[in-house]
Structure formats: C-alpha cells, structure tokens
Amino acid sequence: MRAIPALALGALVLPLSALAADPHSYAQPNEVRVTHLDLDLAIDFPHKALDGTATLSLDWKDPNAPALVLDTRDLKIAKVEGLDTAGRASALKFALAPRDKELGSKLTIQAPRHPAKVRIVYATSPQASGLQWLTPAQTADKKLPFMFSQSESIHARSWVPLQDSPAIRFTYTAHVTAPKDVRVVMSAINDAKHPLDGDFRFDQPHPIPSYLLAIGAGDIAVEETGPRSAVYAEPSVVGKAAHEFEDTEKLIEATEQLYGPYAWGRYDILVLPPSFPYGGMENPNMTFATPTVLVGDKSLVSLVSHELAHSWSGNLVTAASWRDIWLNEGFTTYVQGRITEAVYGKALADEEALLSARALQKSIGDMPANSQKLAPDPRGVGADDSLSDVAYDKGSWFLRTLEQRFGRGTFDEWLKAYFHRHAFTSITTEQMLADMKANLFDTHPGKMSWDEAKAWVYQPGIPREAPLPTSLRFQTIDKERADFLAGTLDANELDAKGWNTQEWMYFLDRLPDAPPLSKMKQLDAAWHLTGTPNAEIGMRWYSHAIAAGDKNVWEDAREHMTRIGRMYLTLPVYKAFAATPEGLAYAEAAYAKAKDGYHPMTQGAIESILRKARQGKK
C-alpha cells in the first residue's frame, strides 16, 4: 500500500499504521505490489480442479525486499519461476507455511533479484472454499457439470495465488480451456457469440481487487437484454431470466444520469444454480445472481439495481479493507434505492428502505456495541463476518440522512464527484470522510454538524434523529396486522390480494417472533403461504410458522431450505428448526442429505448454527 499521510478529521487523527495493514492478508504491498495477472488454466471437472499457471507482474517498492509474499488456501504449488524483462525464466525457492484456518497458507517466494514477473504452476483443491463444483444432477437441466467461483471476501486465494486484499488492484488476462459444449465466463468482457470450442480468452483492462476475480463454466445459454447487456443461464432458465431482467438498460441509463458514465463497457448477468450462497455478486462486467429472484413479476429486480450500483460504489471506488466494507455496501444500497426510484417509482423505493430500516432496528440491539459501528474498532473477526446488515442498512441510512440535510441536488453533486475523484482506487473510511468534509460539509456549512456525521460512523446504534421514509401502504398493513393479531380481523379479510412481495415481507417481518399457532393456521388457510414459490416470502413464513409450533409446514420448509443455497434465505429456517430439540434433530437429518449440494460457505454457516444449538448457545 502506498504511503498515506495521517488524516485530520476534526478530533479524529488516524495514524499511518492503521491504514497500511490488512489483518486478513499475508501480503506485504509496501515491499512489492502485484499490478497484473495472467492466468492460463484448464478446468478439470472429474477431479474438481483448476490447474495451470498464474503469472504476476510486480512493482517492487522496497529495493531491499527479499521476497514476494502471497495468499493461498489449499493450493498445490508445483513450481515457481522468476521472469526477467526479456521473459527468461529461472527457478525460485518458495515455502508454503502451515495452513491457518482463516487466512490459509502464506506463500513466501525468495526473489532477492526482483524479477519483473513471477510464474506459479499450481492446482486447486476439490475443497477450494471459493469454488463450487456441481454434478449434472445438481443443475437445472441435468445435462453438464457446472462450476462457479465466489471470491468475496478472501476466497480468491483458494483458486489463484495472489495478494488477496481489497487494497491491491490489478488488471488481468486469462486463457481457460474446458470440455467442448461448456461455456466459460469471467469477470471481464464476455463474447455472447463465442463458439463452445473449449478455448476461451478474457481481458480485464481495469484494475480490480482480488475479491472481484470470478469464473463460471457449464451449460450456459445467452439472451441479449439490451445494447450492452445480456443474460447468461442454463437453457431452461435463460428465457425466464431475460424477461425478468429486460429493464437492465433502463437501470444502467438511470444510474448514468445520476452518477456519470458506466465505466465497464458491458453489464451482463449470469444466473447461477440455486446453490449460489448470495443474492448477487457484483463481479465486474458480469454479475453472478441467484435464481431466487426469478419470480416472474420483477418484484425482486432490486437485486440487479444493487449489483449494478456496485459498478460505481465498490467496483469503481473500493473499500481498502473489510473493516471499511460499508463504503461498498452502504453506498451501494443507497444508490440501489435511487435507481429503483428512478425506474420503478418512489413508493417501491420507500418500501424497500423501510423494510431494511425496520429489520435493522429490530436486530441491532442484539449485536455487540462494536459491531453496531460502520467503521468498527479492530475486533479480530473473520473477513466474511464483516458483511453485516450494519454495513448495508446503517450505511445507506446515513447517506439518506445526508441527502435530506444537504438537499438531493447538493448531495448528488458531491457523490457523483466522489466517484469520479476516486475511480479505480481503494480507499478507507477516513479517506472518504476527508473527501466528504472538504467537498460537502465545508462547502455547504450549517446543514449538519461534523460531530453528528462522525457519530453515525464511529458510534454504535442508530442516531435518534435518523429520518425514515413514510409508506401509506405499510401504515395500512400495520393496522391490519394489529387487528388480525387482536382477533378483530379474520385472515381472509386482510386486503392482501394486491400486496406485492415487499408488502408481504413487511407483514411477516413484523409478526411476533413466535406468533400464536392458531393465527398461523388461519393465515395459511386463507393465503396458502406454505409451498409458495417466492423464496423471500417463504423464508419469512416458514421461520414464523415453525416458531409457532406448526409441524404441518415442516416438510415444505425442509424443501425450501435444502433447495435454496442462498444463505440469507436458508439460514433463518435452520435457526427456527434449531430452537427446539425435535426441530434440531429434523434439521440435522435434512442437512445430512442436502450437504453436498450446498456451497462450502453455506455448509460452514449451517454447521455453525447446528453446532451452537447442540451446545445450547443462542
């Protein structure tokens, strides 16, 4: 990391040492920094491995640095060579340290002569945490195997040896071979018309952090959705996905109107099999998306708004460490709301903002005080644990507050310029605040005190004056829910026939944690929520019905949580089962049968829930 002077932010002074170290990486970028990656890989489905070479172009910062230190996890390193400026190769000594559970194995390459490039011959493990390998039976069309990556937060090191820190950006090219009939895609420009000849080449000319390195391969068809967008998915899914995402160009244009030109050329979407552990992953040029958003009515297309927004907040301007991840997710959630408002209307945007705010209000008090901060103090948690609702929802709430105080026009002017000033760089919370103070607070005084802004970032909880949007629809739902629970309104008298997905989510979210069983049975009889194909509604319904003691939903709840690998939609149902001994035994049996179909990240999260339940922990 290049030297950054201490930043004075009112009473806040951040020392250089706090900016220079990434606790989740072994890399030493003050000594040498990777600037470019050339991959040459073969996809081996039978052995569940990628094997080939990674060639790293190096910028030596310290003339006395003796070695290049890289991050790896479960990689088999066969050989390391140094390449001089003429391309001549010479063997280099290397050592792979014992595996750390969180960080993997430090790879130290002795390179006292400072070669221009280092080439590493390696292969991945079948258990690579950043890759999932699916048999044909685990895909929608049952025809070909499928493989995809998930590098965020520190899982790129499980399939490429590199400096796995968001502070370090590099360009890359890749040559990937695969069986014929398999399409390979990456987080770069993809050719929709590329022949399925088993030979693919990619070029990412913009510097990206390692967590945005991505690859996918399988039986993948393509349908164009606009002049610079397409949907990639299995043949039986691609048509439905193209319909759901047909507004992609409108979303891109709306964001450009707000925050400037789209910098990445194309914006494509790969719809993955159901085991994908997240809603979406903002890989440059190609968002990886869950099929759970394909409900037919575009009601969950905000996921595309969110991942597209990352093309400005996260991919263009990136958090320099996982402690600063709210710079990615909070800003993106705010921009997502603005895109949704521009394309689908203010009412829907306000409903989504209220949903997230109410959920955060309910959960934040149960978190440790340090976890309630946007920029927490050093806390020794894993990088994956940094991605909490606080980063997303408190972060976006802070930005909505700024918009209200300074006025939308003024705030938009600052935000657009902020993206431009820091394009293709990784920055810290303190660098963002320095920009905000100089270019928003100091140029428009009297709108909000600087101490108030710092309290949002560095203090736990949600400030009392935090503004919330209003929704007449939600107010009506609040009254109907209260009347239903009080027994003055029957379930079949709820005015729910026209509720959209967000309104059902809101109704269910604000039910008691363990509602009366009789009420759940009435609700199901009237509205047939058990068996719903809408996973957002299903997760909420099953969690409440199980907590109420309704065993009639167990089989459908099991089908929901074992069919869907998206953690956000699966883990709450496991938690509901794990709350009772009988439910825990049922969930453990269901997991044993479904385990192989889950992503490694999902497996770890479910096993943690079950283990804590067995030990009697919350």
Residues annotated catalytic, as ranges = 307, 392
C-alpha distances in Å from residue 489, one per residue of 106, 357, 480, 483, 512: 62, 27, 7, 5, 17
> Is 329 assigned to a binding site?
yes
Contact criterion met (CB below 8 Å) for 549 and 521: no
Backbone angles phi, psi at 13, to 5 degrees: -130, 120
What torsion do the CA atoms of 496, 499, 502, 507 make, to the nearest 10 degrees?
Answer: -10
Q: What share of the chain is helix, strand, coil (3-state, %, to 5)?
A: 40, 20, 35
Burial of 526 (0-12, 13-18, 19+ CB in 10 A): middle
Query: Measured between alpha carbons, how far is 580 from 597 in angstroms, rounded to an integer?
Result: 25
586 in helix, strand or coil? helix
Query: Is 24 labelled a binding residue?
Result: no
* CB neighbour list of residue 477: distance below 8 Å, 6 or more residues apart: 499, 503, 506, 507
* 13: three-class secondary structure by DSSP: strand
Tell me if 428 sits within 8 A of 321, measured CB to CB: yes
36 is in an annotated binding site: no
Q: Which residue has the tokens 């989510």?
A: 505
For residue 528, give the nearest of 510, 553, 546, 548 by alpha carbon: 553
User: Where does residue 15 rank: exposed (0-12), middle (13-18), buried (19+ CB within 10 A)?
Assistant: exposed
CA dist 200 and 190 (Å) reads 9
Closest CA to 399 of 480, 457, 319, 343: 457
| Beta bridge pairs of residue 104 | 100
Annotated binding-site members for Zn(2+): 306, 310, 329
